[in-house]
């Protein structure tokens, strides 16, 4: 019998895709010559917000700004642990202005914001996981930012090296199920990083490349419900076998920019 899982109410920050577009290419998913349906993207985004509300979570929004087509990907703007905000310094020049409105939102809501000195892309690469923070590097966030985050939060930071450009952020290759376990795609990581994950999470849920390419690892879990791409069918079955409840949410229009459910979701851990 699968274990009984317990959901915990979460507080999420999101940004409406009013100006969403693919105007440049900074990852293998992005093709500026492929049109984006902004109306469809907004409907899909609203379905995600509705799913969070239906499952008892608080959702807050930051106002989008014209000229920042990737601002919808709220997860990249910061990482929040125990009410402390470690902001972002984007690798791509096109995204660097996004840091300003997100920092302003946090400050307006009573948070102090630490600005990293090194390239750091928020929850895209810094994933709080119970007793530690899992930290991706290889394409975006640097190991120097890992050290900055550890000094700032006073929480152990465990570096993991990404090796497949399709999984350029940690949150495209791994997500936290609860304080004790994760789901991930092993081949997205270097051999040594795979060994680290196997030691830390011997009972992890592993995904196939098909699941990963369907953005199945760009998921959000509240400890029981897993908001997951409907294309990751094998992964959804494995999660259900473990007692989690998959909640399919289609954000396929955002896949054109290399993002999905988690990319659109910043968790505020107060």
For residue 222, what are its two tokens?
Answer: 């509240």
Residues 220 and 262: beta-carbon distance below 8 Å? yes
Q: For strand 126-129 and strand 132-137, is the pairing parallel, antiparallel, or unpaired? A: antiparallel
SS3 for 235? Answer: helix
Active site residue 225: no
> Which residue carries 């750091």 as its tokens?
120
φ, ψ of residue 264 to 5 degrees: the values are: -85, 5
Find, among 77, 73, 63, 66, the residue nearest to 19 by Cα.
Answer: 66
Active-site residue (options: 169, 225, 255, 264): 169
Active-site residue (options: 120, 146, 225, 263): 263
Alpha carbon distance 169, 160 (integer Å): 11
Q: Write out 190-202 in H/E/C secondary structure.
A: CHHHHHHHHHHCC
Alpha carbon distance 255, 268 (integer Å): 24
Residues 181 and 203: beta-carbon distance below 8 Å? yes
* Alpha helix ranges (H) inside 68-208: 99-108, 143-153, 191-200
For residue 109, what are its two tokens?
Answer: 């809501």
Active site residue 55: no
Find, among 142, 121, 89, 119, the residue nearest to 258 by Cα.
Answer: 121
> Which active-site residues does the annotation give?
169, 263
């Amino acid at each position: 019998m699968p274990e009984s899982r317990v959901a915990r109410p979460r507080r999420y920050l999101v940004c409406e895709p009013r100006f969403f577009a693919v105007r440049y290419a900074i990852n293998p998913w992005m093709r500026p010559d492929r049109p984006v349906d902004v109306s469809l993207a907004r409907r899909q985004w609203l379905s995600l917000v509705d799913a969070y509300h239906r499952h008892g979570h608080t959702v807050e929004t930051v106002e989008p700004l014209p000229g920042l087509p990737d601002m919808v990907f709220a997860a990249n703007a910061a990482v929040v642990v125990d009410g402390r905000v470690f902001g972002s310094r984007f690798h791509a020049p096109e995204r660097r202005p996004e840091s300003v409105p997100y920092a302003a939102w946090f400050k307006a809501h009573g948070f102090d914001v630490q600005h990293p000195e090194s390239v750091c892309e928020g929850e895209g690469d810094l994933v709080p996981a119970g007793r530690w923070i899992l930290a991706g590097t290889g394409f975006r966030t640097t190991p120097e930012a890992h050290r900055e985050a550890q000094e700032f939060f006073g929480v152990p930071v465990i570096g993991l090296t990404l090796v497949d450009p399709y999984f350029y952020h940690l949150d495209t290759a791994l997500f936290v199920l609860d304080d004790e376990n994760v789901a991930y795609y092993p081949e997205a990581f270097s051999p040594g990083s795979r060994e680290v994950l196997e030691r830390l999470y011997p009972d992890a849920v592993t995904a196939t490349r098909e699941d990963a390419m369907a953005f199945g690892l760009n998921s959000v879990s509240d400890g029981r419900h897993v908001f997951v791409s409907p294309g990751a069918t094998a992964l959804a079955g494995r999660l259900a076998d473990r007692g989690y409840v998959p909640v399919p949410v289609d954000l396929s229009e955002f896949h054109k920019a290399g993002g999905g459910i988690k990319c659109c979701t910043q968790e505020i851990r107060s």
